[in-house]
Copies of this chain bind each other. A is one copy, B any other.
């Protein structure tokens, strides 16, 4: 049995999810730099929508057995920490 393909899919899935998490981080960074208020409801909504989309992708990958449940949770938690650090930094400016 070849486990290469399995490993390839698993690695590709994880890389895609990491890239998507980074896209969200970049999007929020750009919003912060352009001085859009983090208190703005639209900002919250964009962020919520993006986080929901990512969590659905992660959930899908976990259900397919491509990503470990723990790794998926950690990816989301890491992004949440990075986002709240960004948020704090923008408030201390």
A6 CB-CB contact with B under 8 Å: yes
Residues in B with CB closer than 8 Å to A16 are 60, 63-64
A46 CB-CB contact with B under 8 Å: no
Residues in B with CB closer than 8 Å to A54 are 56
A24 CB-CB contact with B under 8 Å: no
Q: Which residue of B1, B13, B64 is within 8 Å of A12 (Cβ)?
A: B64
Residues in B with CB closer than 8 Å to A2 are 1-2, 5
Residues in B with CB closer than 8 Å to A5 are 1-3, 5-6, 9
Contact (A60, B61) CB under 8 Å given A2-B1, A6-B5, A49-B52: yes
* Residue positions of A touching B, CB distance < 8 A: 1-6, 9, 12-13, 16, 49, 52-54, 56-57, 60-61, 63-66
